[in-house]
Structure 1
Amino acid sequence: MIMKKLLSTATALLVAIASYAQAPSITLPGYTAYVEPSEKYAVVDEKNGVRNWTDNRGIVNFYFYAAREGSIDISLIANATTESKLSVSVNGSQKEVSIPSNTNFKSLPVMKTELGQPGFYCISIKGLSKRGATYANIKGVSLTGDITRNIQYNPKPWRRSASVHLSYPTPENKEVEWFYGEIKVPEGEDKLDSYFMSCGFHRGYFGMQVNSPTERRIIFSVWDSGGEPEERSKVKYEDQVVLLAKGDSVYASGFGGEGTGGHSHWIYNWKANETYRFLLHSVPTGNTTTYTAYFYVPEHKEWKLIASFRAPKDGVYMKGLYSFLENFNFENGQWGRKGYFGNHWIKTDKGEWIELTKAKFSIDATARAKDRIDFGGGSENGWFYLWNGGFKPANAKYGDIFERPANGIIPTIDLPKF
């Protein structure tokens, strides 16, 4: 009888081990982690994951989306130069784990927890103690269990949130000489490394950015022709846009790295909850077009010239009108951003003003690949809006059409005389 019980127990244990070994598993790569409040406390390397974690003020977070409820086992794939201790928490559960001194990465079991409902979850790792200079190097977080079959996570080192866009259809057989738009960013949504772009067109874009804790910009850029993706020095002179004029205190230069072209920006401390106005002008001449950007400075109650560029191999009025919201830094794609875009108008070459009250929603390659699924847009309070980041469920999909009520009030434009 004792022998039978022992055999039965051993068999059950073997079945459990085999079942666990066969359970589906995924690994959240270390290079997809985020460090709060910033990466000055730990480095996230796109090849090696989390390293040089020197300060316990830096909290390492991993995110995933569970499409259904269920249990999940969590392990850290980590090593340490000297022994350390970490705290791991998720979904209200918390466990401590010791990281032994080892040059090789080891899979270290942490906890089993129940995810009670579908949604986004954050695995948060804090440094508790260390004997050396750093807490640990984390190559990844392993998740095991049946629900991993339906888990979404970012498998790539591209840690920006997805870019989202609004394109504005214009009437056929109308030439767009002027393009006017407005932006308002709610309090708290003006996160670092955000670009709220009001007036985009087939050769460039015009909007405002948060560039550092102490610097914000109004930015206007126009692309070269020729298709060179990185280095402007490789662009033939006849394919380069030419700066014709710029406003006082405006910086202008060439740019590369995302296509090439002419760039201009004005350092201006724009504020949340304020409405800002943008105006673009296009003048085709032969096979070139001159594009000029103006920004209304509310403190001075006047329009300011940002810059004027002549674009070669063009020769048409503006087309492909759009707005977008972009997060342009890899370190803070976990933060949520939201902006309101509205009161867009065009003025044709015949002097006719037309209000743009419809917009088509689109997403970038990161969202289309489902590497990030936290984005959205819509219409509310008379504005269109766009948002990204924050690990919240999407509320819009590619191709959605939004509408806002027309206000019928043609913008008052009193440009400076030069």
Structure 2
Amino acid sequence: MESSRDRGFCDQLAETLRNCVDTLFHRGSDQSQTGRVVEEEAPYCPPNSNQICPSLKVWSNSEEEKTYQLMCSTKKCSWVIPLAGNAYVTSPEGPPEEEPLENFISDCGVSNWNNGLRKMSTFFHSTRPGYVLMALRLRVPNSDGISRLRITLSHAKPPFRQIDVGNEFPASSEEADDAITIYEAEDGKQSQTTEIFVQGSKWQLAPCGKFFLPMDGYIRFDLEGISRSGPYFADVTHLIIIPESDWFTEQTFLKFISSPSDFYWGRRGPSVHLRYIPPPLTDFEYFYTELTVPDGGDVIGAYFCAAGFRGGYFGFQVNSETERRILFSIWSEWNTDNPGDIPEEYKVVLIKKGDGVIDGEFGDEGSGGQSYLIYPWIAGRTYRFLVFATKSGTEDTVYTAWFNPTGEASDWGLIASFFKPKDSTYLRDLYAFSENFIPEQGHLERKCEYGAQWVHTTDGTWIEMTTAEFTADATATAQNRMDISGGLEVESGNFFLRNCGFFSDAVSANTMFERPALGVPPDIDFSTLP
């Protein structure tokens, strides 16, 4: 049995939450004869629209922003999390060719949700445990029907102790279960779950209950559609969180993606890098490295750079369930994101390419020449990469890349060779990186290992590189995403990179690592390379 004190606390918080959100999401008002402020209905925002939904403009004017800040200062309202930047479809069962994942979560949040197999998961990062009240801003569109939704709160790593949250739950309908259930998931992570019933085509606040954030790290808020009497389960724009105590608010920071301008890169997830420390004052023409993606790390949307350098990169990626590519790209010295704007004298020109290799241009991240080979590389297998750069006259450079799937000296295959004008150089600023290029896949963890790094100097000497600095991109630096890791894999002695997946055991960026030296250089006869 719940105590009257606990029920009173939940009722009080629910009323505070309603008052808070009435202010936060007010986008235009009309004064009735009683002086009551009436909220206008938000216009419907179709999926895949480039226009930010008005419901995401949490403050309609500076006065409203001041009101929110005042509420935070008095601990009445603390965190409003937009699903558009922090939610994913995490159970994508169903025919994807008929229901693209981007149709369910757009700049407006969750919409078009008619498939009960689609689980919507929202992630945020907490710095400490504590009790909170949660609610969803939602509506059941185009219908007077009732939807039954299941809510599950879990953590990215198992808690250290049992959690007793009691039975406090201010349900949004008398039909809802008046309890939060604690259970152990299959992976051993403890979760809290409950169900609510919602109805009404106007935007509303639906209390989800009182939850316990078990410990620091990433928290996962799952939303599942159990049943519906209308065409859709719900449109959902925001998750609202209010703490139980002033102490929790003062001592806790919740990290999530709040600005619409950060939604795209935030949902893609952070990129992580290894910056190798080469020998000083040395010119080197060749860079050799080995790359292994462990079983399960080959997520769709992953690109693993094996051999990066100033002016280009070389690695492989997962494009779909049926296609994988080896990719080698060289940037033009002309600064543009549109390859069509590059003057002829600055264009990167293909010299030669291997069998089956497709060449072209790329843009949107700078521009230049690109080549790729559709190749079914396999997780758990080690692949070798070799890149070459040499000066061509006083102003230009020739870059060439080879790929070896077996390690046998006779198995080096040419990817491509490019002529790059207006930059005469050898290899510089060597690095590796891991990134995700599909926003809908940003909740899935990926990992790779780098087993050897050698450079070959212009005077014919192999030099091993054993030191690397782990770094991350602006998404991680801004703490929009904190699921970054890299360093030394103790068992294998390899460098590794790990990113996305909302794991909580992160590694701080700008950390130096050193691996054990191998001592045996690659056995490559450059004169026999294709």
Given the two structures, how large is their TM-score scaled by the length of structure 2?
0.73
Unaligned runs of 5+ in 1: 1-9
Q: Conserved in 2, the CA contact under 8 Å of 1:41 and 1:57?
A: no
CA distance in 2 between partners of 1:387 and 1:18 (Å)? 41
Q: Conserved in 1, the CA contact under 8 Å of 2:273 and 2:497?
A: yes
Residue among 288, 296, 311 paired with 2:404: 296
Return the letter of the residue paired with 1:174: T
Q: RMSD of the TM alignment (CA)?
A: 2.1
Residue among 342, 359, 368 paired with 1:252: 359
15 and 310 in structure 1: CA distance in 2 versus 1, 3 angstrom threshold: closer
CA distance in 2 between partners of 1:16 and 1:88 (Å)? 17
Does residue 202 in structure 1 map to residue 310 in structure 2? yes
Return the letter of the residue paired with 1:55: N
Residue among 402, 407, 411 paired with 2:518: 407
What is the CA-CA distance between 1:131 and the residue it aligns to?
2.3
CA distance in 2 between partners of 1:247 and 1:116 (Å)? 54
What is the CA-CA distance between 1:93 and the residue it aligns to?
2.3
CA distance in 1 between partners of 2:241 and 2:150 (Å)? 17
CA distance in 2 between partners of 1:187 and 1:221 (Å)? 26
307 and 14 in structure 1: CA distance in 2 versus 1, 3 angstrom threshold: closer
Return the letter of the residue paired with 1:115: L
Matched with 1:55 is 115
CA distance in 2 between partners of 1:279 and 1:345 (Å)? 10
What is the CA-CA distance between 1:50 and the residue it aligns to?
0.9
Q: How do 1:22-41 residues align onto structure 2 when only pairs under 5 Å count?
A: 22-31=75-84, 32-38=86-92, 40=99
What is the CA-CA distance between 1:45 and the residue it aligns to?
4.2
Does residue 242 in structure 1 map to residue 296 in structure 2? no
The structure with more strand, counted as a fraction of residues: 1
Q: Conserved in 2, the CA contact under 8 Å of 1:187 and 1:272?
A: yes
Query: Alpha-carbon deviations, 1:188-225, whole Å to 9, x = none?
Result: 11111111111000000001111111111111000011
Does residue 157 in structure 1 map to residue 263 in structure 2? yes
Q: Conserved in 1, the CA contact under 8 Å of 2:284 and 2:456?
A: yes
Q: Conserved in 1, the CA contact under 8 Å of 2:129 and 2:212?
A: yes
Matched with 2:373 is 266
CA distance in 2 between partners of 1:41 and 1:54 (Å)? 13
Q: Conserved in 2, the CA contact under 8 Å of 1:105 and 1:139?
A: no
CA distance in 1 between partners of 2:221 and 2:298 (Å)? 26
What is the CA-CA distance between 1:99 and the residue it aligns to?
2.4
The structure with more helix, counted as a fraction of residues: 2
CA distance in 2 between partners of 1:16 and 1:106 (Å)? 13
CA distance in 1 between partners of 2:194 and 2:270 (Å)? 32
- Counterpart secondary structure, 1:157: helix
Q: Conserved in 1, the CA contact under 8 Å of 2:330 and 2:370?
A: yes
Q: Conserved in 2, the CA contact under 8 Å of 1:72 and 1:144?
A: yes
Matched with 2:195 is 96
Q: Conserved in 2, the CA contact under 8 Å of 1:73 and 1:111?
A: yes
Does residue 281 in structure 1 map to residue 388 in structure 2? yes
What is the CA-CA distance between 1:44 and the residue it aligns to?
4.2
Given the two structures, how large is their TM-score scaled by the length of structure 1?
0.92
Percent identity, aligned pairs only, is 36
Q: Conserved in 2, the CA contact under 8 Å of 1:41 and 1:56?
A: no
Residue among 213, 218, 226 paired with 2:326: 218
Q: How do 1:167-186 residues align onto structure 2 when only pairs under 5 Å count?
A: 167-186=275-294
Q: How do 1:122-133 residues align onto structure 2 when only pairs under 5 Å count?
A: 122-133=220-231
Does residue 369 in structure 1 map to residue 478 in structure 2? yes
What is the CA-CA distance between 1:172 and the residue it aligns to?
1.8
Residues matched between the structures, number: 405
